[in-house]
Amino acid sequence: MSEEQQAHANLVVPAFRTEEEPKTQTQTQNGHGTVWRFGGSDKAAKASTVTLRGVIYMLFDNCSKDVKKTILPLGHGDPSVYPCFRTCIDAEDAVVDVLRSGKGNSYGPGAGILPARRAVADYLNRDLPSKLTPDDIFLTAGCNQGIEIVFESLARPNANILLPRPGFPHYDARAAYSGLEIRKFDLLPNQEWEIDLQGVEAIADENTVALVVINPNNPCGNVYSHDHLRKVAETARKLGIMVITDEVYDQTIFGDNPFVPMGKFASIVPVMTLGGISKGWVVPGWKIGWIALNDPEGVLESTKVVQSIKQNLDITPDPSTIIQAALPTILEKADKKFFAKKNKILRHNVDLVCDRLKDIPCVVCPKKPESCTYLLTKLELSLLENIKDDTDFCVKLAREENLVFLPGKPIEIKIHMNLVI
Ligand SMILES: *Cc1c(COP(=O)(O)O)cnc(C)c1O
């Protein structure tokens, strides 16, 4: 890492970068004639080509001291670095209390400690017709580990999985790592970023295992309607596949469309809900998330998916017991005022940026986001001179203005740019 990169190490989004192919080094001879018989494995080489970190670092590298402007890092997705988004005091107190009590010092069971699993079930049950029990909940080290565990549990030879485009790159990385074949369906920009369900049916086959929904949607910033989610469930049922829904942004909504959990449709199709407190409570560093199995008919049990999840959890590290033990208080005291304040700031920022963008004809916001922390914009290349594509534009912005935005390429949307709000 360069000095510049180090200074911004905390401002970086989760992992896209094409690293050079690591050289497989099975035998290296040193000066004393010893033959080293070890070398780095390339198991993660393919998967790690889909991470955001590299792009952001590359853009920071293009920023310059000669440009007499402070670096504005607006490509990263971690609002916790800004004091105005500091998490609520109740959540902090909950962690401090557990720490001081000495009750968070032990190992926990693979699935997570019971009070925490019960608290997650209660938290999710507020909006669900068929209720979850603590047995339906598995705690993970952030929502990302939920993705990893679920993919490992579904990865059988020849299996394929349907992912949204644009999307969240960690899904691509982990599907590749687990050996799941990736098939992409489109989100439709002219239909409120709804899922192209005809496209889903066209790409699914007898080896398809699941469809991934991200709702509220990162990076598009929409919130899906009840009707659309019901159609998604019906399509999945017709295809005989489950729905994996990523609801990590359930508390980051500042538009008018209400959030509907996919679990509502579990009587139609089995639903695995991924969530966590990273985004809602703005504490991604606390590393706690969950997998919830919305499956009243017991399909995930009879197909042995539950068994596989438990086995995978048994061989992976658990989230810190301190945070697990604090989770019931964090969720029960879910501070409505804190969420309201946070979402008000986000809405204000979106309004402000959209307003200013009206004066910049080459950067267009096709749809105002109503959730999450990005504003997806389209570049009008015809109005720009000497700009090849979105990456080229972002590199030149970094070089000439010390302004860092995320190009659309890593999230698979052409000629777009993502601004952090
Ligand atoms: C940030 C994010 C995650 C990862 O959440 P962690 O709890 O930090 O692991 C997963 N999915 C989406 C869509 C995200 O934006």
- In sequence order, what DSSP letters do the residues of 71-125 get, joined into one string? -EE-S---GGGSGGGPPPHHHHHHHHHHHHHTTT-S---TT--HHHHHHHHHHHH
Tell me how far apart the alpha carbons of residues 109 and 105 are, in angstroms, rounded to a whole number.
Answer: 13
Tell me the sheet residues that pair with 188: 194
Q: Give the distance (Å) from ligand 1 centre to CA of residue 311.
A: 23
What architecture is the 3-21+41-85+337-420 domain classified under in CATH?
Alpha-Beta Complex (3.90)
Substitution site in 168, 287, 290 for ligand 1 pocket (most atoms within 8 Å of beta carbon): 168
- Tens-of-pLDDT digits for all 421 residues of the chain? 566 556 555 554 433 343 444 555 555 666 778 999 999 999 888 888 766 777 888 899 999 989 889 998 888 778 898 899 999 999 999 999 999 999 999 999 999 999 999 999 999 999 999 999 999 999 999 999 999 999 999 999 999 999 999 999 999 999 999 999 999 999 999 999 999 999 999 999 999 999 999 999 999 999 999 999 999 999 999 999 999 999 999 999 999 999 999 999 999 999 999 999 999 999 999 999 999 999 999 999 999 999 999 999 999 999 999 999 999 999 998 888 999 999 999 999 999 999 999 999 999 998 999 999 999 999 999 999 999 999 999 999 999 999 999 999 889 999 999 998 8
Longest Cα pair distance anywhere in the chain, in angstroms? 70
* DSSP β-ladder status, 72-73 and 208-214: unpaired
Q: How far apart are CA 124 and CA 245, in angstroms?
A: 13
Domain with CATH 3.40.640.10 in the chain: 89-332
Judge contact between 375 and 421, C-beta under 8 A. yes
Q: Please state, in angstroms and rounded to a whole number, the distance separating the CA atoms of residues 311 and 303.
A: 14
Residues framing ligand 1 (Cβ under 6 A): 142-144, 168, 214, 218, 246, 248, 276, 278-279, 284, 289
Residue 334 pLDDT: 80
- Chain region(s) in the chain for CATH 3.90.1150.10: 3-21+41-85+337-420
Contacts of 93 (CB under 8 A, 6+ apart): 329
What local confidence, expressed as pLDDT, does residue 4 receive?
56
346: exposed, middle or buried (Cβ count in 10 Å: 0-12, 13-18, 19+): buried
H or E segment and range at residue 351: helix 336-357
End-to-end CA distance of the chain: 26
Question: SS3 for 29?
Answer: strand
Helix, strand, or coil here: 170? helix
Q: Ligand 1 centroid to 279 CA: how many Å?
A: 7
The answer to whether the beta carbons of residues 338 and 331 sit under 8 Å apart is: no
Identify residue 168 by its one-letter amino acid code: F
Ligand 1 mutation pick, 12, 279, 330, max ligand atoms within 8 A of CB? 279
Residue nearest atom 15 in ligand 1 by C-alpha distance? 218
Residue length, the chain?
A: 421
- What is the 282 CA–ligand 1 centroid distance (Å)? 11
Cα–Cα separations (whole angstroms), residue 157 to 153, 210, 254: 12, 14, 42
Distance (Å, whole) CA 108 – CA 163: 33
Query: Is-contact 78 11, C-beta < 8 A?
Result: yes
CA of 143 to the centre of ligand 1 (A): 5
- What's phi and psi for 371, nearest 5 deg? -160, 170
| Ligand 1 centre distance from Cα of residue 359 (Å) | 33
Residue 338 is predicted with a pLDDT of 94
Ligand 1 atom with least separation from CA of 287: 7
- Residue 278 Cα to ligand 1 middle (Å): 7
Question: How many angstroms does the Cα of residue 378 sit away from the middle of ligand 1?
Answer: 24
In a 3-state reduction of DSSP, which class is residue 18?
A: coil
Atom of ligand 1 nearest to the CA of 288: 7
Give the rounded distance of the alpha carbon of 25 from its chain centre.
Answer: 34
The alpha helices in 253-315, defined as continuous H runs, are 299-302, 305-314
Contact 403, 74 (CB under 8 A): yes
- DSSP 8-state code for residue 371: B
Measured from the Cα of 372, ligand 1's closest atom is 15
Which residues are within 8 A (CB) of 406 and not within 5 positions of it... i.e. 6 or more apart? 13, 52, 55, 56, 75, 374, 394, 417, 418, 419, 420
Mutation test residue for ligand 1: of 149, 218, 224, the one with most atoms within 8 Å of CB: 218
Distance 250 CA to ligand 1 centre (A): 11
Q: Which atom of ligand 1 is nearest to the CA of 77?
A: 1
Q: Which residues on adjacent β-strands are paired with residue 271? A: 243, 294
Q: Where are the alpha helices (DSSP H) in 204-241?
A: 226-239
pLDDT of residue 10: 52
Q: Which neighbouring-strand residues pair with 224? A: none
Predicted confidence at residue 26, as pLDDT, reads 53
Give me the pLDDT at residue 355, please: 95
Q: Which residues pair with 246 in a beta bridge?
A: 214, 274
Q: In angstroms, what is the span from residue 64 Cα to ligand 1's centroid? A: 31
Q: What is the CATH number of domain 89-332?
A: 3.40.640.10
Residue 49 is predicted with a pLDDT of: 75
* CA distance linking residue 88 with residue 91, whole number of Å: 6
- In whole angstroms, give the CA distance from residue 80 to residue 277: 12
For residues 212 and 244, the answer to whether their CB atoms sit within 8 Å is: yes
